[in-house]
Chain A
Amino acid sequence: MRGEGERNDLEQAAELFTPLLLTTDENFAPGHRACIGCGEALAVRHVCKALGTNVIVVNATGCIEIFSSLLPQTTWRLPWIHTLFENVGAVVSGVESAYKARIRKGKIPDRGVKFVGIAGDGGTTDIGLQALSGALERGHNILYCCFDNEAYMNTGIQRSSSTPYGAWTTTAPVGKHSIGQMTWKKNMPEIVVAHRIPYMATACPSYPLDLMEKVQKGLETEGPAYLHILSVCPTGWRCAPEETIEFGRLAVETGIFPLYEVINGDYRMSLDFPVLRPVKDYLRRQGRFRHLTEKDIDRIQARVDEDYAKLREKAGVK
């Protein structure tokens, strides 16, 4: 892959004009109750645009479900079901199996309906990991999207296993004996890849075209597909609502959240940075990292550099 400066005219033109070709339909309707500047709400909106209308969405408990489904209203213009926090992998397996069986038995026609599971990082990397792993292992024809805002935001900013090292949360507070989260962020994309599913990708709504393209690829994949979507949460990250897009970009440009795909085991960088921005640019401006010392930041930098180098190696970029 090339860096920013190396794009040809055609590519640049495509970036400029493609948004104009995007559907103006909002399958995730305006009027929901997310916080101002919510990266998850933005991500879900983009995802729903890319999904089209021939899908069924299964949602875990979490911010998205709460801000989109408060009775007696709904934000969903797509068929949508929420049951519990930890079982999206299993519920979506059931929905998919029901369609499969009923089509095979001639009870309904095959209209090519697709099945999508969505959950936060808590509902994916912690309590829902087992059900997700089961669904991936069984090979259901589903797309699973994890909206990673790096903590349990719905219950008020508690740490999850996807919370980054050094981040403040209410259950990993900063104190005399603690710098906040003491463990490193669980590498969920790699855990998914270890299931050897046909499609895994990371994405971020700060790169909407990339995100939508990946949603479409995931939908078209035969078998399980997984998207890990970084979703900035101004409320939990202690940053300004208007900085959401910028922080998404910074996470990518610093290598903290690299954008890549793994298609049938082959790694591909979606955006590659031979020279990364220093993580300091990202960490220093968020309240959740405010307490970190230079030494802490160096530690994080070293880890990011190491992980990024490994990833580039897997993707075969030099």
Chain B
Amino acid sequence: MTKGRLVGLEGSFAIAEAVRMVNADVISAYPITPQTHIVERLAEMIADGELDAEFICVESEHSAMSACVGASAAGARVFTCSAGQGLELMHEVLYIPASMRLPVVAVAANRALSGPLSVWCDHSDAMALRDIGWIQIFAENNQQAFDLTVCAYRMAEDQDVLFPAMVHIDGFYLSHVTEDMELPAEADVADFIPDYEYPFVLDPAKPVSMGCYGPPFIYFEAKMAQNVAFEASKSKILEVWKVFKETFGRSYEPVETYRMEDARTALLTMGSISESAMLAIDELRSEGKAVGLIRLRLWRPFPFAELREAVKNLDCLLVLDRAISYGMGGPVCGEVKAALYDKRQDLAIVSYIAGIGGRDVTLDEFKYMINRGEEKAQLVTLGEELEPEIIGVRE
């Protein structure tokens, strides 16, 4: 196991370091708050000769992802990042690397969507990308932002995977905050992410046709193949995290749990908010309550088995969403319910929506959600139907 160097780094800079250390060939991006620091730092690295890459300073996010697709098909290791409206403008293109099996890696600095215009964090943009066919992973702190970006390359480029991968970091909460973290030695990252050869590269020496037109007699089969391969990528994702742990000592799981040993109630979170939630769990634990936390790290492919395992001793699960599916409730809660429906119809699942558009979620609010959640769970058991509860909005 190798030890790195302790440094204080902004989340954006940590990601730029990861992209530099994996020696990306082509970077193409368009600025949008709160992602800008990542591209600015990368542009600086290229300008200073610290990173040898082509920087395509495109005229839109649609083109940023399009250029990544072209570069990836031509065998380059690529990177882009965006946020909020930028990810939405990319949306059409995001399906392409997934269906063409191109290992594009991107970072999303999550941001609320217009309108009203907001640059602040929530997960609305991420939720709009649920079905694009990318490996999607949520980071909670800057260390994870770095580690998971590095891992994303090894996952995406595995010859049995070849799917694009996206690392989600909370805009501002991580992108603009300096934290201490361990930065591995460049050589160790280079060993972990060696150069790779894309097997179907665009090359006159061996012509291929990519992105053909699929009539009904073949489209469905193509999509099935994509889905089968995508689901199969999970075992490779686990393998990458295993090797990462052996190499760098930090471990990641599709579903991570905190103080769940004897918990009957748990809160489920994603992203940086999980760290505040841990504090709330600690306080409630010190008050003698048997509560724990579940952090959903791998969002796609969805970790059904791990989630079922994590909730197996629970009576009550509280799901915290940072996005609204208008007219439906919390999107993550909807997915969690769907994932557990077959096995755990006895489990009371309570939906909360909080932290929209950069609204902070306080310790008291976490505690309220957990305490009140247990009461709500009782009502569910008595057969009452519960609407999602929105926390922290001024009435």
- Smallest beta-carbon distance B71→chain A, Å: 4
Most-contacted residue by chain A among B74, B96, B204, B218 (CB, 10 A): B74
B66 with A84: CB separation less than 8 A: yes
A199 at interface by CB-CB < 8 Å: no
B93 with A83: CB separation less than 8 A: yes
- Which residue of A76, A101, A105 contacts B207 across the interface (Cβ within 8 Å)? A76
A79-B203, A81-B70, A97-B54 as given contacts; A102 in contact with B210, CB under 8 Å: no
A70, A79, A86, A130: the one contacting B204 at CB < 8 Å is A79
Contact of A86 among B62, B64, B69 (CB under 8 A): B62
Expressed in whole angstroms, the Cα–Cα distance for A179 and B195 within the complex equals 60
With A76-B207, A101-B53, A108-B75 known to touch, is A91 a contact of B215 (CB < 8 Å)? no
Q: Is the CB of A87 within 8 A of B214?
A: no
Query: Which residues of the partner chain A approach B218 to less than 8 Å between Cβ atoms?
Result: 71-72
Shortest Cβ distance from B236 into chain A, in angstroms?
24
How many angstroms between the C-alpha atoms of A266 and B215 in the bound complex? 46
What CA separation (Å) do A83 and B92 show in the bound complex? 10
Task: Please name all residues of chain A whose beta carbon is closer than 8 Å to the beta carbon of B208 when the two chains form the complex.
Answer: 79-80
Asked if A156 is at the interface of the complex by the 8 Å CB criterion, the answer is no
Whole-angstrom distance between the alpha carbons of A55 and B100 in the complex? 21
A89 to chain B, nearest CB (A): 7
State the Cβ distance, A104 to closest chain B Cβ, in Å: 7
A84-B26 CB under 8 A given contacts A54-B204, A79-B207, A133-B59:
no
CA distance A111 to B73 in the complex (A): 18
| CA gap between A95 and B52 in the complex, in Å | 17
**Chain A residues numbered 122-163 whose CB sits less than 8 Å from any CB in chain B:** 130-131, 133-134, 137-138
What's the minimum C-beta distance from B154 to chain A, rounded to whole angstroms? 18
A98 at the interface (CB under 8 A from B): yes
Shortest CB-to-CB span from B58 to chain A, Å, is 6
A93 and B209 within 8 A (CB):
no
- Residue ID in chain A nearest B217 by CB atoms: A71
B207 in contact with A134 (CB, 8 Å): no
A87 CA / B63 CA spacing, docked (Å): 6
Q: Give which listed residue, B26, B52, B59, B72, contacts A130 with CB less than 8 A.
A: B59
B57 and A80 form a contact (CB under 8 A) = no
Point out the residue from B54, B195, B209, B212 that lies within 8 Å of A101, measured CB to CB: B54
The reply to whether A84 and B96 contact each other, CB–CB distance below 8 Å, is: yes
On whether the beta carbons of A134 and B63 are closer than 8 Å, the reply is: yes
A309 to chain B, nearest CB (A): 35
B56 in the interface (beta carbon within 8 A): yes
Contact of A131 among B66, B73, B203, B209 (CB under 8 A): B66
A77-B207, A81-B202, A87-B93 known; A131+B56 contact, CB < 8 A: no
A53 at the interface (CB under 8 A from B): yes
Q: Out of A90, A98, A104, which one reaches B75, CB within 8 Å? A: A98
**CB of B211 within 8 A of chain A?**
yes
Query: In the complex, what's the smallest C-beta–C-beta distance from A84 to chain B, in angstroms?
Result: 6
The residue that A95 contacts in the complex, of B70, B100, B207, B222, with Cβ under 8 A, is: B70
In the complex, which residues of chain A have a beta carbon less than 8 angstroms from the beta carbon of B211? Answer: 69, 81-83
| B257 in the interface (beta carbon within 8 A) | no
- Asked whether, in the complex, the Cβ of A55 is within 8 Å of the Cβ of B204, the reply is yes
Given the complex of chains A and B, what is the CA–CA distance between A93 and B57 in angstroms?
Answer: 10
Q: Is the CB of A102 within 8 A of B76?
A: yes
Query: Any chain A CB within 8 A of the CB of B213?
Result: yes
Q: Does A286 contact B (CB under 8 A)?
A: no
Residue of A nearest to B63 (CB): A90
Provide the residues of chain B in CB contact with A113, threshold 8 Å: 203-204
Q: Is the CB of B59 within 8 A of A131?
A: yes
Q: Answer whether residue A216 sits at the interface, using C-beta atoms and an 8 A cutoff.
A: no
In the bound complex, residues from chain A placing their C-beta under 8 Å from that of B207 are 53, 76-80
Chain A residues whose C-beta falls within 8 Å of the C-beta of B204 in the assembled complex: 53-56, 78-79, 111, 113
Task: Pick from B52, B70, B212: contact of A69, CB below 8 A.
Answer: B212
Asked whether any CB of chain B lies closer than 8 Å to the CB of A301, the reply is no
Q: Which residues of B contact A79 (CB under 8 A)?
A: 202-204, 206-209
Shortest C-beta distance, B153 to chain A (Å), equals 16
In the complex the two chains form, is B212's CB within 8 Å of A90's CB?
no
Closest to B68 in A: A94
A66: B residues at CB distance < 8 A: 213
- Binary interface encoding of chain A residues 238-259 relative to chain B, with 1 for a CB under 8 A from any of its CBs, else 0: 0000000000000000000000
Contact partner of A102 (CB less than 8 A), chosen from B57, B75, B214, B215, is B75
Does A197 count as interface, using CB distance less than 8 angstroms?
A: no
Chain A residues 197-239 with CB under 8 Å of chain B are none
* Complex contacts, B214 vs chain A, CB 8 Å: 71
Q: Are the CB atoms of A94 and B28 closer together than 8 Å?
A: yes
- Does B356 reach chain A (CB closer than 8 Å)? no
Check B66 against A56 for contact (C-beta < 8 Å).
no
Please give me the residue from chain B that is nearest to A85 by CB atom.
B92
How far is it, in angstroms, between the C-alpha of A81 and the C-alpha of B57 when the chains are bound?
22
Besides the known contacts A97-B71, A101-B52, 8 further A-B residue pairs in the complex with CB atoms under 8 A apart: A69-B212, A79-B206, A82-B213, A86-B62, A93-B63, A93-B70, A94-B66, A94-B74
User: 23 A-B residue contacts at CB 8 Å?
Assistant: A54-B204, A69-B211, A71-B212, A79-B202, A79-B206, A80-B208, A80-B210, A81-B73, A82-B211, A87-B93, A93-B58, A94-B26, A95-B73, A98-B73, A98-B74, A107-B195, A108-B75, A111-B204, A131-B60, A131-B63, A133-B59, A137-B59, A138-B57
Residues of A within 8 A of B (CB): 53-56, 58, 65-66, 69-72, 74, 76-84, 86-87, 89-102, 104-105, 107-108, 111, 113, 130-131, 133-134, 137-138
Closest 10 CB pairs of A and B: A94-B70, A94-B67, A98-B76, A98-B74, A90-B63, A90-B66, A134-B59, A87-B66, A91-B70, A94-B71
